[in-house]
């Protein structure tokens, strides 16, 4: 079963509007982390925002916020006031305990959502 599901292969948003990118996850680990990364067409992977499973409040970083609904196992990314430079692939990822335990926290990624910002 998919551990991270991103159901929107592509999204369009008008410049200056807000957009929500969906992410649901599946884990039985009580301690986990959820991350969002941005990958522009140039290829680099840019960290945007982090939410820990024990965090009581939703994470925010500038124009990015994470709508964390633990009971529903969802961690949607909200981008406010979209800019042309926001056009990119966005990946949701989860960190769980690795197979060997200590010092291993590999990320499992979703398939990504390609966001296009329209002027």
Partner 1 sequence: AAGVIQSPRHLIKEKRETATLKCYPIPRHDTVYWYQQGPGQDPQFLISFYEKMQSDKGSIPDRFSAQQFSDYHSELNMSSLELGDSALYFCASSFLPSGPSYTDTQYFGPGTRLTVL
For binding to partner 1 (CB under 8 A), which residues are involved? 31, 33, 35, 37, 43-47, 50, 52, 54-55, 91, 95, 98-100, 102-112
Taking the complex as a whole, the smallest distance from the CB of residue 74 to partner 1 amounts, in Å, to: 18
Nearer to partner 1, 5 or 67 (CB): 5
Taking the complex as a whole, the smallest distance from the CB of residue 84 to partner 1 amounts, in Å, to: 22
Taking the complex as a whole, the smallest distance from the CB of residue 35 to partner 1 amounts, in Å, to: 7
What distance lies between CA 53 and its chain's CA centroid?
A: 14
Nearer to partner 1, 85 or 103 (CB): 103
Q: H or E stretch including 103?
A: none
Taking alpha carbons only, the member of 90, 88, 119, 92 closest to residue 108 is: 92
Is 3 exposed, middle or buried (CB count within 10 Å of its CB: 0-12, 13-18, 19+)?
middle
């Amino acid at each position: 079963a998919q551990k991270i599901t991103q159901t929107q292969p592509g999204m369009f948003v008008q410049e200056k509007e807000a957009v929500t990118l969906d992410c649901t996850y599946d884990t039985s680990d009580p301690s986990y982390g959820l991350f969002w990364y941005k990958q522009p067409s140039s290829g680099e992977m840019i960290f945007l925002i982090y939410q820990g499973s024990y965090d009581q409040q939703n994470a925010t970083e500038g124009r990015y916020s994470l709508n964390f609904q633990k009971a529903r196992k969802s961690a949607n990314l909200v981008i406010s006031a979209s800019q042309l430079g926001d056009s990119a692939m966005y990946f949701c990822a989860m960190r769980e305990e690795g197979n060997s335990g200590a010092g291993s926290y590999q990320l499992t990624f979703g398939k990504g959502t390609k966001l296009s910002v329209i002027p």
